[in-house]
Amino acid sequence: MSPEHFLADAERIRQRVIDTLLAEFAELSEGVVIVDRDARIVWMNDKYPRHLMVHDAADIIGRPVEEVIPNSLMRQVVSTGKPIMLDIMELGHESVVVMRLPVRDEHGEVIGGVGMVIFDDARQLAPVVSRFQSLRTELADTRRKLDEARRSKYTFASFIGASPRCVAVKNKARRAARAASPVLILGETGTGKELLAHAIHAASPRAGGPFVAVNIAAVPETLLEAEFFGVAPGAYTGAERKGRSGKFELAQGGTLFLDEIGDMSPALQSKLLRALQEKEIEPVGSNRLISVDVRIIAATSRDLPKEIEAGRFRADLFYRLNVITLDVPPLRDRLDDLPFIAEALTDSLARQLDEPPRSLSRAALDYLAHHSWPGNVRELANVLERALLMSDADCLDQADFEQVLPGLVRPPARPVAENARTLDQIQQATERQAIADAIAAAGGNKAQAARSLGISRASLYEKIAALGIAAP
């Protein structure tokens, strides 16, 4: 078929649809009414008068539509030129489903409107409404789960340890949580950098916003820009038709965690720097700037000053990120925390593996303390999981860990000095000396001595008798 014949057929079909559409709707629907630009009735099909209790349709021609159909919105349609595609209207004692459309002339001017009763019983929409409600519930549930996934999973209590270096890091992180400046977390792999980032977000004023994490080392270089800044609709072949939001947009009002920032290419570093300085991003394939309100927490296991010297990391981006710096110590530098971390990990792993609760013997903990832990807490978790799966014992002992981590130096026995004192003996001696000094300083006045020690006089007499302190 030639193009001329095709166009002629297409026009004939279009005109035929226009000519027959109203007649078909009038036949299929429960009622059709047409009004002019002043919302006066100019025509009504035979079915509509039955719903209105009108015996002669000719009596209503030319009357304002509200006089005949009290709840009609046809005047709104002709005055605004906007359709009302689906609505429920009270018609006497009935609830009917209606659709209202404007009618335009060849110049696009509104010259009237047409209203159709699609169903004469709103209950006929029940399956549609039920399906809609089901889809809306599923969408709300999916959004809720996504929001939960974008909430912080850890708090400062999750960063276990009481060693001086651990306490110092946590105190500095708490101060960082109160600020809005970028945070740079440095440390070896497996030390808990992401856990600290979660904890900072959870303790910050942005805790109600999303926490979005990007592992730069895990995303192909060609996709990183789209991952950060999003993609405009149809930006390139294969791009999503509706476009896609980037991590900056997803983290709006919250925190964006950039893990392994040291692995980012110099080209993308410059774009990230601009986004941080201007607080604006430009999606791939778009010429539209989007304002963003995001707090940045970055982490790396690389030595960034050395990366700057080698030309692999921009110095200006480093200074932009390095406002508050947290240096997370490796596990080998805080072995005092190892028993507490190991106990917590053992409980958590037992729950995950559906295993009964397990404990760790003192010998097992001493044995683990003789490993250098190059993989830090992540390696410790791996060793504990393997030991749990390899043993049926309620208490994991040194022998259980020798199977999965052989070759460690056995902890030497600790000799006990002959003149060593117990903790109670040391405490009693210290207390005895303090009371004697206080009584001597008060010139033998026990009431005054009790006040200086912060105890009652009765308590002082009890301690004098119990500790065998001689009267001055």
pLDDT for 353-391, tens place per residue?
998 989 999 999 999 999 999 999 999 999 999 999 999
**Residue 412 falls inside a structural domain:** no
Average pLDDT, the chain: 83
**Mean pLDDT of all residues in 193-213:** 92
Q: Which residues pair with 90 in a beta bridge?
A: 95
Looking at the predicted structure, is the pLDDT value of residue 54 above 60? yes
Place 52 in a pLDDT band, splitting at 50, 70 and 90: confident
d(CA 213, CA 258): 6
Per the CB < 8 A criterion, the answer to whether 224 and 268 are in contact is yes
**Size of the chain, expressed as the number of residues it contains:** 472
Q: How confident is the model at residue 128 (pLDDT cuts 50, 70, 90)?
A: low
Q: What is the mean pLDDT of residues 431-454?
A: 78
Residues 113 and 162 both lie in one domain: no
Dump pLDDT digits (tens) for 129-144: 566 667 777 776 766 6
Residues 62 and 110 occupy one common structural domain: yes
Of 329, 352, 379, the residue that ends a domain is: 329
pLDDT one-digit tens code per residue, 61-106: 889 999 888 888 999 999 999 999 888 888 777 778 888 999 888 8
CATH number of the domain bearing residue 16: 3.30.450.20
Same domain, 400 and 437: no
Position 248 pLDDT exceeds 80: yes
DSSP state, 322?
A: T
What total of structural domains would you count in the chain? 4
Count other C-beta atoms under 10 Å from residue 292's C-beta: 19
Same domain flag for 281 and 393: no
Q: How confident is the model over 293-320, as pLDDT tens digits?
A: 999 999 999 999 999 999 999 999 999 9
Q: Mark whether 110 and 196 lie in a shared domain.
A: no
Same domain, 94 and 200: no
pTM over 0.75: no
Predicted local distance difference test score (pLDDT) of residue 286 = 79
The encoded tokens of residue 296 equal 């940045």
Both 51 and 189 in one domain: the answer is no
**What is the per-residue pLDDT for 193?**
94
Q: Are 147 and 210 in contact (CB under 8 A)?
A: yes
Same domain, 279 and 389: no
- Both 247 and 366 in one domain: the answer is no
Q: Do residues 118 and 174 both lie within one domain?
A: no
**Of residues 444 and 40, which shows the higher confidence score?**
40
Question: Is the pLDDT confidence value at 420 over 60?
Answer: no
* pLDDT (tens digit per residue) in 228-242: 888 887 666 555 567
In a domain, 417, yes or no: no
- Is residue 91 in some structural domain? yes
Q: Which domain holds residue 73?
A: 3-122
Q: Residue 394 maps to which CATH number?
A: 1.10.8.60
Q: CB neighbours of 288 closer than 8 A, spacing ≥ 6?
A: 232, 282
